Structure formats: structure tokens, C-alpha cells
Amino acid sequence: MPIHVKEGEGIFFRGFDKLVHCGLFFVLSVLYCAGSIRKWNTRNIRIEIAMKNTIVLLSYGALIEFLQARVFTWRSGDFNDLLADVIGTCMGIFAVQVTGSAINSVR
């Protein structure tokens, strides 16, 4: 039996879904950048790798929203979810760049 919780009730608040999208794409982008750093054996993420990662992750977010809007009848695509994905991705890549620069400046 599914549990139906309305937005704004309990621990959920208005915009909770957007916060989750942003947080998950933040974590996804940090992990994706960490994999890219290991793959290319660099000390920090280079700008061309960061741009490629951004394009890949934003394409993934857009694909998810497109599929929700057009394919899955029980889901709905939302532009605001895609915007939250973009913000989370950019925050994650920025965090990796700042952290990498700080770590490398100490060495």
C-alpha cells in the first residue's frame, strides 16, 4: 500500500523535491569529476574535462526530465527540476575545482 504524503506535510516542505534534485546532482557531479581526475591522472580537474562533465551531466538531467514528460505516464517532467539539476551540477564542479586548487596550493 503506497504512502501518500502531500507536499508541505511532515518533514517535507514546498520545494523539497528541488532540493533533492540539486543535492543528488551535486553528489553525482563530484563523483563524476573524481572519476575523471583518476582517469586522466591529474591533480585537479582541467577546464576541458569540467566542460565535458557539465555537458554529460546536464544531458543526463535533460534526458530524465524528457522521459518523465513523454514516456512515463505516472511521472511528470518539470523545467524547475532540470534547473535544480543544473544548479547542483555547477555547484559540484565548482566545489571540485576550489577544493583541488586549495589542496594543490598547499603542496
Residues 60-77 have pLDDT tens digits of 999 999 999 889 878 788
Query: Whole domain around residue 80: which residue ranges?
Result: 16-106
**In the prediction, which pLDDT does 87 show?**
98
* pTM score: 0.84
Determine the pLDDT at residue 37: 93
Buried b (16+ CB within 10 A) or exposed e, 15-46: eeebeebbeebbebbbebbeebbeeeeeebbe
At 74-91, the pLDDT tens digits run 878 889 999 999 999 999
In a domain, 10, yes or no: no
Residue 101 has pLDDT above 60, yes or no: yes
Number of domains in the chain: 1
The verdict on residue 52 lying in a domain is yes
Segment 17-63, tens digit of pLDDT: 899 999 999 999 999 999 999 999 988 889 999 999 999 999 999 99
Classify residue 5: in a domain, yes or no. no
* pLDDT exceeds cutoff 60 at 1: no
Residue 51 burial by CB count (10 A; 0-12/13-18/19+): exposed, middle or buried? exposed
